[in-house]
Amino acid sequence: MEARLSSGTLVQGLLRLAQRDGGFGAVLARGDSDSGAVAIVLVERGERRMILERILGEDGRYRWQKTGNQAAETDEEFEKFLKRKRGFDPDLWVLELDVPSAERFADEMKAIG
């Protein structure tokens, strides 16, 4: 069995990764520090670009998947999306990362798993 990174540690690493690239991040909703799910709202120059969710694949490894694409379009849809997700999973972490290149950052996150 392979060791898994706690959610709290992953969140701190993602915040630092955004800072490394000249961006910044904020925790919109705090989840379980050991095993809470993690969702990332990627923002570029103040505009929401995409929402990624960390999911456990069939092979037992984590990967990032785009989710709630329409939720990134309007504030109202975004708020509904967050409320629904947190209602279903109150242990969910939700981060907002404002980075210079959301697509590149997403690709880098996918490599991390």
**pLDDT higher than 70, residue 109:** yes
Is there a domain that residue 1 lies in?
A: no
Is there a domain that residue 105 lies in?
A: yes
**pLDDT higher than 90, residue 91:** yes
**pLDDT value at position 14?**
92
Is there a domain that residue 38 lies in?
A: yes
Average of pLDDT values for 102-109?
86
- Buried b / exposed e along 87-96 (16+ C-beta atoms within 10 A): eeeeebbbbb
Domain with residue 57: its CATH number is 3.40.1530.20
Count how many domains the chain has: 1
Whether this prediction's pTM lies above 0.95 is answered by: no
Domain with 73, as residue range(s), is: 7-112
Average of pLDDT values for 26-55?
91
Rounded to 10°, the helix 7-20/102-112 angle is 140
**pLDDT value at position 90?**
92
Is there a domain that residue 15 lies in?
A: yes
Mind listing the pLDDT tens digit for each residue in 18-39? 999 899 999 999 999 998 999 9
Is there a domain that residue 49 lies in?
A: yes
**pLDDT value at position 8?**
92
**pLDDT value at position 19?**
92
Is there a domain that residue 2 lies in?
A: no
